[in-house]
């Protein structure tokens, strides 16, 4: 159950970012944006892709932490 929450949150965030990315890039392929706008939108798109990759990487680390976590970790304190 502890693994479900991070997976759901990251999935929702990635779907949101991907949907926003599609909406953002759609005018570029329709040739409705001037050249400078294409460059700016491309840089924004790269940032969003980097954010998605960072979310996935963080999820991988978090799942590894959950797997290695002690059930009685409060006794350490």
Look at residue 44 in the predicted model and tell me its pLDDT: 92
CB 44 within 8 A of CB 24: yes
pTM check: above 0.95? no
Q: What is the pLDDT of residue 10?
A: 95
Q: What is the pLDDT of residue 50?
A: 96
Residue spans of the chain under pLDDT 50: none
User: Which two tokens mark 42?
Assistant: 């491309």
Q: Determine the pLDDT at residue 56.
A: 96
3-state secondary structure of 20: helix
């Amino acid at each position: 159950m502890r693994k479900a929450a991070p997976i759901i949150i990251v999935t929702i965030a990635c779907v949101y970012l991907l949907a926003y990315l599609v909406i953002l890039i759609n005018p570029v392929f329709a040739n409705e944006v001037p050249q400078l706008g294409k460059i700016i939108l491309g840089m924004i798109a790269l940032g969003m892709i980097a954010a998605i990759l960072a979310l996935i990487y963080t999820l991988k680390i978090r799942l590894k932490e959950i797997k290695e976590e002690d059930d009685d970790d409060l006794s350490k304190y």
